[in-house]
Amino acid sequence: MRLVSELAVREWVSLSVEMDGDDERLVADERLVKQMLLNLLSNAVRFTPAGGNIAVLVNLDDNGELLMSVIDNGVGIAE
């Protein structure tokens, strides 16, 4: 997260993380999860305009499964 935070500061983009509920645990390959988040957040920073916002939301869905969402006001992906 530090690496992406530094990039966001340089690009004048606000980055926030919101975790809902207690200390959630994720059973997964730590290296792959870090790589996935780094790729996703780096792209969000790159394509969000200066002064834009990126939010990472972490919570449990109705089935008790961990749900991570990245919301930004960048250009998005063409459909």
- Whole-number pLDDT of residue 61: 85
Q: What is the pLDDT of residue 31?
A: 92
pLDDT of residue 21: 67
Radius of gyration (C-alpha) of the chain in whole angstroms: 13
Pairing relationship of beta strands 53-60 and 14-19 according to DSSP bridges: parallel
pLDDT, tens digit, for every residue of 4-57?
887 788 888 988 888 886 666 778 898 998 899 889 899 888 889 999 999 999
Among the listed residues 24, 25, 8, the one whose alpha carbon sits nearest the alpha carbon of residue 72: 8
Full set of structural domains in the chain with CATH: 2-72 (3.30.565.10)
Lowest mean pLDDT among 4-8, 14-18, 65-69, 71-75: 4-8
Q: Which pLDDT does position 32 carry in this prediction? A: 93
